[in-house]
Amino acid sequence: MKIFVADDSSIIRERIVRMLENVPNARVVGEAADGAEALRSIPETKPDLVILDLKMPIAGGIEILPLIKGLSTPPIVMVLTNYATSHHREACAKLGADYFFDKSREFEKAIEVIESLAEGCAHAKS
C-alpha cells in the first residue's frame, strides 16, 4: 500500500514514516509540509492512502480534502489532527474523509487502522 503523509510538522512526519517502516506492505511514497505541496505531489505519487493534517500553511487539510477526493482515482484519506473537535470531525466526514483521528489520543489507533488497510491491500493484490 502506497502512503502519502501531509503534515507541517517535520517531527510528526518523521514519526509517522518511522512507524510505517514496521508495517508490512506499507510504503511511504511522498511527504508534504503544506497543502499546496500535497496537491502537487499526490496526483504524481498516486497513493492508496493520504494521512492528512488539518492545520498546514498555504492550504489546510479541510481546504484540500475535497480536491484530493475529487481526483479520478481518489485515495483513502485519514485525517490525523490536534484539532479533533466535533465540528472538524463532521466537516471532514462531509468532505469525504474516510478516517479521523486525534493525534494526541488516537495516534496508535491510526497506526492499527493503517496496518489493517495494508494487510487488506496485500490480500487484494494476491
In a domain, 40, yes or no: yes
Lowest mean pLDDT among 26-30, 51-55, 63-67, 82-86: 82-86
Structural domain harbouring 27:
2-121
**The predicted structure's pLDDT at residue 108:** 86
Instruction: Give the tens place of pLDDT for each residue, 13-29.
Output: 999 999 899 888 999 99
pLDDT average, residue stretch 90-99: 95
User: Does 18 map to a domain?
Assistant: yes
Judge whether 27 lies within some domain: yes
Number of domains in the chain: 1
Residue 98 within any structural domain of the chain: yes
Please compute the mean of the pLDDT values over residues 73-97 and round it to a whole number.
93
Mean pLDDT across the stretch 80-105? 92
- Residue 31: which pLDDT band, with cuts at 50, 70 and 90? very high
What's the CATH number where 94 sits? 3.40.50.2300
Tell whether 53 is covered by a domain.
Answer: yes
What is the pLDDT, as a whole number, of residue 123?
Answer: 53
| Residue 43: inside a domain | yes
Whether residue 126 lies inside any domain: the answer is no
**pTM of the full structure:** 0.93
Q: 30: which 3 cell numbers? A: 511522498
